[in-house]
Amino acid sequence: MKPAAKAIPAGGIAADLIAVLVAVTNGAPLALTIQDGNALPSGPFELGHRSLQTGLRAWVEEQTHHPLGYVEQLYTFADRDRAESEAAQRVISISYLGLTREAQRDGVREAGWRDWYDYFPWEDHRTGAPSLIADLLTPRLREWAQAAGGAGLREERWRRVAFAFGLEGSSWNEEFVLQRYELLYEAAIVPEGLGEGLAGGRSPVPGRAMAADHRRILATGIARLRAKIKYRPVVFELMQPAFTLLQLQRTVEALAGRLVHKQNFRRLIEQQELVEETGATASDTGGRPAKLFRFRYAVLAERAAAGTKLPLIRA
Amino acid sequence: MKPAAKAIPAGGIAADLIAVLVAVTNGAPLALTIQDGNALPSGPFELGHRSLQTGLRAWVEEQTHHPLGYVEQLYTFADRDRAESEAAQRVISISYLGLTREAQRDGVREAGWRDWYDYFPWEDHRTGAPSLIADLLTPRLREWAQAAGGAGLREERWRRVAFAFGLEGSSWNEEFVLQRYELLYEAAIVPEGLGEGLAGGRSPVPGRAMAADHRRILATGIARLRAKIKYRPVVFELMQPAFTLLQLQRTVEALAGRLVHKQNFRRLIEQQELVEETGATASDTGGRPAKLFRFRYAVLAERAAAGTKLPLIRA
DNA sequence: TCGTATATACTCCAATTGAGCATAAGATGA
DNA sequence: TCATCTTATGCTCAATTGGAGTATATACGA
């Protein structure tokens, strides 16, 4: 790009880090929040940090007292819309996805960790598709599609809806978290930001909102993670040092929002040699004691990519 | 993050956009460069742009006279090392990958477009593994691995090398572009930046360098694209409106740096209904005339993700 | 001791995928 | 004119993968 006349003078830009921090406890996928669940943790990028990721990592470990296993950049925004207050100041927001373990004190959930399905109740299909979808979302989305001008646009809208929500023959794809959220937002079925209300004056559907575009960023993080667990062994960052295969499975299911076939799951994990037995067993599972496993960290060196394909149940 | 004492005062940060622009012409994968091939196009983020992507898109279309089909963010850097000159000014670099068609004037290649294998000659395996790897890279990498202190570290280094370059039983994975580049850099076999020279005083191996970390960014873009073409129909952004299946195949091969099985490639493309016949045929192919196809843009609406799995030839 | 709940081992079948053979339809040059 | 070259295109086959079910093992508690 050529040096432009309108280039921002030094002093016009600030940088912000926003974190989607994920943990899974007892089958509940959690995200760390602040302000009573209304926002994601964020703060200015500090000069003392050697790099963006270094800064994020140091800060998170200080807050959660757990090593931050996996960190990945999500997206960098600088939309003009985001600069709400002072128009002169341009803010660049750099969002991250991080995996860790929940900091529990004596089994009590620490404040700040929230089940992410509180924000996206339509995303949890572990016990089948939530009735919410058929009862509330689909009718409203159909209304919205019908309200478009022109048959082509109406059809186009409805096709997007059907595709995103797995209607009319297409099957539910758990990775389309962001597409679904954006459709709901576009159709004014969910609000973006707090206290904005909806255009048509209709009540919003279940699901907590968040300040500014934080719920959208959370959706981005969930989508990325749901895609990632299928080809990278990142789930283990969320596990305790020793775990049973069922615990591992439940963690995956919590993230994916759908069930997996138990036997195939075990087959896959074992044939990929992702884990090794510790020798001990867990007897508090209510049935036959399960062998305890640990992650084989060697696989990270062996194949940086090969991956954990997950046998998600087909539609 | 809590408001820190060391927070950067307004005025300390600047933002830069860096673009990896890709086109494919006659089986040659091209990247747009400036400064006689020594740098990637980049420039300050301008206030006039509504968002980062909007700015990039407008600028590119102005330069190439072609619509910029697919745009994707690569990565945002703010490493302290990057601020070379003034230590006070912190620069955030936001890099993008963009797909377009080469702007050709009467079949003459426009200045600036360079074959990306000029920078990464070890990445082109279309006619088999380049002899360069066995003759130069492998011995030097082995040397480097041997030079480590401690048997564990030596073994670890060599395992990384073997994995990245497909030695000792593991097979070549075209997606590990960045890992390979970083290994070569870590082993001081390729320089980073221009005119820096190498520590040991040994001559660098073939492959052009680029200013600052631009070659690394290009590697990131190539890696991302090689991964992407396998599950998203983005190759079509690089094609002319009408093309033969062989042309499409050659484009994929140029990007992936390896050959695909022709019949299986056709099977995959057709069964996914990614293309439709235009009715015309191309007779300048030297053999039996080939049917011309066009991309079915409808698939973008139908399945935003399903993908173009590519039958890359197995090792 | 029986029911219940989980763990774990195997089997089966269908879809996918890698690889090769065979034939078709043009161009070219002897 | 015809043999030959080149690319296009259709079809087969076997190996692997992946989804789903059955059967057996081992604990606990009523």
Q: What is the pLDDT of residues B179-222, one digit of tens each?
A: 999 999 999 999 887 776 665 667 778 999 998 889 999 999 99
The alpha-helical segments, DSSP class H, found in chain B are 52-64, 131-132, 138-146, 151-165, 177-186, 214-228, 245-256, 262-271, 298-302
Q: Are residues B112 and B141 in the same domain?
A: no
Does residue B315 lie within any of the structural domains?
no
Does residue A313 lie within any of the structural domains?
no
Rounded mean pLDDT of chain A? 82
At residue A302, the pLDDT reads 60
Q: Are residues A19 and A98 in the same domain?
A: yes
At residue B250, the pLDDT reads 92
**For A271 and D21, how far is CA from C1' in angstroms?**
20
At residue A48, the pLDDT reads 64
At residue A199, the pLDDT reads 59
pLDDT band with cut points at 50, 70 and 90 for residue B296: confident
Q: Are residues B82 and B173 in the same domain?
A: no
At residue A95, the pLDDT reads 94
A57, containing H or E segment: helix A52-64
A220, containing H or E segment: helix A214-228
At residue B128, the pLDDT reads 87
Q: Are residues B63 and B80 in the same domain?
A: yes
B80, B97, B118 — which closes off a domain? B118
> What's at B260, amino acid-wise?
V
pLDDT band with cut points at 50, 70 and 90 for residue B8: very low
Tokens found for residue A87: 């128009």
Q: Does the pLDDT value for residue B311 go beyond 60?
A: no
At residue B315, the pLDDT reads 42
Q: Is the CB of B313 under 7 A from strand C?
A: yes
Q: Are residues B111 and B125 in the same domain?
A: no
A19: closest chain B residue by CA: B1
Q: What is the CATH number of the domain that holds B60?
A: 3.90.79.10
Range of the domain at B78: 13-118
B58: closest chain A residue by CA: A1
Q: Does the pLDDT value for residue B161 go beyond 50?
A: yes
**A151: closest CA of chain B, how far (Å):** 16
Q: How many domains does chain B have?
A: 3
Contacts of B50 in chain A (CB under 8 A): 79-80
Q: What is the mean pLDDT of residues B15-24?
A: 91
Query: What's the full length of chain A, in residues?
Result: 315
| Nearest nucleotide relative to B288: CA against C1' | C26
Does residue A151 lie within any of the structural domains?
yes
**For A27 and D24, how far is CA from C1' in angstroms?**
28
Cβ neighbors of B196 (< 8 A, separation 6 or more) are none
Q: Are residues B111 and B167 in the same domain?
A: no
Q: What is the CATH number of the domain that holds A267?
A: 1.10.10.10
Cβ neighbors of A284 (< 8 A, separation 6 or more) are none
Q: Are residues B63 and B74 in the same domain?
A: yes
Least confident segment among A5-14, A167-176, B199-208? A5-14
At residue A127, the pLDDT reads 87
B118, B136, B157 — which closes off a domain? B118
Does residue B312 lie within any of the structural domains?
no
Does residue A215 lie within any of the structural domains?
no
Contacts of B1 in chain A (CB under 8 A): 17, 41-44, 46, 55, 59
Task: Classify the C-alpha dihedral B299-B301-B303-B309 as positive or negative.
Answer: positive
Nearest in space to A204 (alpha carbons), one of A285, A122, A260, A127: A122
Least confident segment among B77-81, B230-234, B236-240? B77-81
Q: Does the pLDDT value for residue A90 go beyond 70?
A: yes
Nearest in space to B164 (alpha carbons), one of B198, B138, B127, B200: B138
Q: Are residues B111 and B43 in the same domain?
A: yes
Q: Are residues B263 and B277 in the same domain?
A: yes
Does residue A262 lie within any of the structural domains?
yes
The answer to whether the Cβ–Cβ distance between A46 and B75 falls below 8 Å is no
Contacts of B163 in chain A (CB under 8 A): 301-304
Q: Could you say which residues from 154 to 213 on chain B have a Cβ atom under 8 Å away from some Cβ of chain A?
A: 156, 159-160, 163, 170, 173, 175-176, 179
Does residue B221 lie within any of the structural domains?
no
Q: pTM value? A: 0.86
Portion of chain A with pLDDT greater than 90, in percent: 36
Does residue A6 lie within any of the structural domains?
no
B96, B118, B140 — which closes off a domain? B118
pLDDT tens-digit profile of A217-264? 999 999 999 988 887 888 999 998 899 999 999 999 999 999 889 999
Q: Which residues pair with B105 in a beta bridge?
A: B108
**B91: closest CA of chain A, how far (Å):** 10
Q: Does the pLDDT value for residue A4 go beyond 50?
A: no
Whether A120 and A216 have beta carbons less than 8 Å apart is answered as no
At residue A7, the pLDDT reads 37
The answer to whether residue A17 neighbours chain B at the CB level (below 8 Å) is: yes
Q: Is the CB of B27 under 7 A from strand C?
A: no
Whether A20 and A39 have beta carbons less than 8 Å apart is answered as no
Strand ranges in A26-89 using DSSP code E only, listed in sequence order: 28-32, 42-44, 70-77
Please give the DSSP secondary-structure letter assigned to residue A203: P
Nucleotides of D under 7 A from a protein CB: 5-12, 18-22, 25-28
Q: Does the pLDDT value for residue A113 go beyond 60?
A: yes
Q: Is the CB of A289 under 7 A from strand C?
A: yes
What is the Cα–Cα distance from B260 to A162, expressed in whole angstroms?
A: 34
pLDDT tens-digit profile of A48-67? 667 788 878 877 777 667 77
pLDDT band with cut points at 50, 70 and 90 for residue B289: confident
A55, containing H or E segment: helix A52-64
pLDDT band with cut points at 50, 70 and 90 for residue A13: confident
Q: Does the pLDDT value for residue A212 go beyond 90?
A: no
**For B17 and D19, how far is CA from C1' in angstroms?**
46
Q: Are residues A105 and A170 in the same domain?
A: no
A-interface mutation test, from B2, B6, B13, B228, most A Cβ less than 10 A away: B13
Please give the DSSP secondary-structure letter assigned to residue A148: S
Cβ neighbors of B9 (< 8 A, separation 6 or more) are none
Contacts of A92 in chain B (CB under 8 A): 13, 15, 45, 92, 94
Q: Are residues A92 and A166 in the same domain?
A: no
Is pLDDT larger for residue B45 or for residue A41?
A: A41
At residue B6, the pLDDT reads 38
Q: Are residues B161 and B111 in the same domain?
A: no
Cβ neighbors of A153 (< 8 A, separation 6 or more) are none
What is the Cα–Cα distance from A89 to A87, expressed in whole angstroms?
A: 6
